Amino acid sequence: MTRVFSGIKPTGHLTLGNYLGAMRRWAQVDQHQSDALFCVVDLHALTVDHDPARVFRLSRQTATLLLASGLDPELCTVFVQSHVDEHARLSYLLECVATDGEMRRMIQYKEKAPRERERGGSVRLSLLTYPVLMAADILAYGTDEVPVGEDQTQHVELTRDLAVRFNQRYGHTFVVPRATPPKVAARIMNLQDPTSKMGKSDDSGPGIVYLLDEPDVVRKKIMRAVTDSGSDVVYDPEGRPGVANLLEILAACQDVTPQELSGAYDTYGALKKDTAEAVVEVLRPLQERHRALCADPGHVDGVLRTGAERARGMARPRVDAAYRAIGLPPAL
Ligand code: AQP
């Protein structure tokens, strides 16, 4: 059975981009068709300036939202990264295989490092090495497929390179995984700045639909979305990024392609109204399940405990094998 692994960082409140670009497919497709693991990658949240209490709270909220999105612990493994030591153990070995040049070429690093310099004056070394930890997350489980949004595909390419290099140097140890970005909604853009991604750690609140936004807040944000100077409602991501983004969101909610919706609307207002209602309807069941899960915190604890035990059992043999292969004797 195909092994699937994907993760989500507790760096902010989860967004519609996280849901349409990743989580929805995890729940609707991946957990049914594969042996899937989904992880709250909390170690990755420490790569930028952070408030420890907030990361703690957001890890919990992220895990709860994963379950609310429809992940079923009977069908897949849901756990928190820092509960499974194998991620950090393997990450160090992979740092011994990766090069600093490779790290500095990563687009996310190039985007985030200047922002960190502006905010706090320095950039944490872990921000540079974060893709190696991500590679460890994936390789520890013998992952075949990594369902991620477009923003993460470069990191999966790096993971492939590291797996191949390790296998060539030290003997076959890792499965070489591949990214499987979604066909629709691979990159949902900020409603106020449709040339940048809707990211959960951005400061631009009005441009981001959060999964726990009240319906009226969702409507307001979408009705105020920036559109473009023309008036035809056509799908043209280069020339009309604002309208293209709305078409992308509506198409994802209705399980069609944005091209199919191109030309179906006469005005931006009508497109916005339908998009807003479609998003409200997509979020409604998720928000209801979230409320029920918050009322039963013991259930979430139990899922995470069992998930971590299962994940440890899967990761340990491969990570131990990597330690032996690279020349480290087992503990006596
Ligand atoms: N805007 C987006 N459109 C489509 N997919 C998206 N994803 C994130 N934003 C969008 C996908 O969600 C999954 C989990 O993402 P992540 O939390 O691991 O990190 P990220 O990609 O860096 O997401 P954010 O929200 O932008 O976080 P910050 O702001 O902290 O960097 C991934 O599969 C991602 O592709």
For the chain, what is the domain count?
2
Is residue 199 one of the residues assigned to a domain? no
> Does the annotation place 200 within a ligand binding site?
yes
Residues 149 and 238 in one domain: no
Residues 30 and 174 in one domain: yes
Residues 153 and 83 in one domain: yes
Taking CB atoms within 8 Å and a gap of at least 24, the contacts of 322-331 are 322/90, 322/93, 322/166, 322/170, 322/173, 322/174, 323/89, 323/93, 325/166, 325/170, 325/171, 325/173, 326/93, 326/96, 326/166, 326/170, 327/170
The single residue listed with the structure tokens 């590291």 is 162
Residues 162 and 269 in one domain: no
Amino acid at 56: F
Cα 138-140-144 angle, rounded to 5 deg: 50
Residues 60 and 172 in one domain: yes
Domain that holds residue 49: 3-181+297-326
Residues 105 and 225 in one domain: no
CA of 188 to the centre of ligand 1 (A): 9
Q: How many CB atoms lie within 10 A of CB 134?
A: 26
Residue 192 confidence (pLDDT): 95
Residues 165 and 31 in one domain: yes
Which ligand 1 atom sits nearest the alpha carbon of residue 199? 26
SS3 48: coil
Q: What is the CATH number of the domain that holds 269?
A: 1.10.240.10
Give the separation between CA 244 and CA 5, rounded to whole angstroms. Answer: 30
Is residue 84 one of the residues assigned to a domain? yes
Residue 8 confidence (pLDDT): 96
Is residue 193 one of the residues assigned to a domain? no
Give the separation between CA 298 and CA 115, rounded to whole angstroms. Answer: 38
Amino acid at 233: V
Residue 229 confidence (pLDDT): 81
Residue 181 confidence (pLDDT): 85
Residue 182 confidence (pLDDT): 82
Residues 224 and 89 in one domain: no
CA quadruple 117, 120, 126, 130: dihedral positive or negative?
A: negative
Is residue 197 one of the residues assigned to a domain? no
197: DSSP letter: B
CA of 157 to the centre of ligand 1 (A): 17
Helices (H), the chain: 16-18, 24-25, 31-33, 52-68, 86-95, 100-104, 107-120, 125-139, 153-170, 215-223, 241-254, 258-261, 268-294, 297-326
Q: What is the CATH number of the domain that holds 304?
A: 3.40.50.620
> Does the annotation place 134 within a ligand binding site?
no
Task: Give, using CA atoms, the residue closest to atom 18 of ligand 1.
Answer: 8
Task: Give, using CA atoms, the residue closest to atom 14 of ligand 1.
Answer: 8
> Does the annotation place 150 within a ligand binding site?
yes
Residues 91 and 235 in one domain: no
Residue 149 confidence (pLDDT): 79
Residues 285 and 158 in one domain: no
0.90 surpassed by complex ipTM = yes
SS3 4: strand
Q: Any idea which residues carry the catalytic annotation?
A: 112, 197, 200
Is residue 285 one of the residues assigned to a domain? yes
Residues 140 and 222 in one domain: no
Which ligand 1 atom sits nearest the alpha carbon of residue 185? 4
Contact predicate 135/94, CB 8 Å: yes
CA of 207 to the centre of ligand 1 (A): 15
Which residues form the pocket of ligand 1, taking CB atoms under 6 Å from any ligand atom? 7-9, 11-12, 15, 17-18, 21-22, 148-149, 151-152, 185-188, 197-201
pLDDT along the chain (332 residues), means of 10: 96 95 94 97 94 96 98 98 98 98 94 87 93 98 92 94 98 97 84 92 87 97 91 87 95 92 88 97 97 94 98 97 94 77
Which ligand 1 atom sits nearest the alpha carbon of residue 7? 18
Is residue 195 one of the residues assigned to a domain? no
Residues 129 and 73 in one domain: yes
Task: Give, using CA atoms, the residue closest to atom 22 of ligand 1.
Answer: 199
Of 4, 5, 6, 9, which is best to mutate to test ligand 1, by the most ligand atoms within 8 angstroms of its C-beta?
A: 9
Tokens representing 274 are: 């339908």
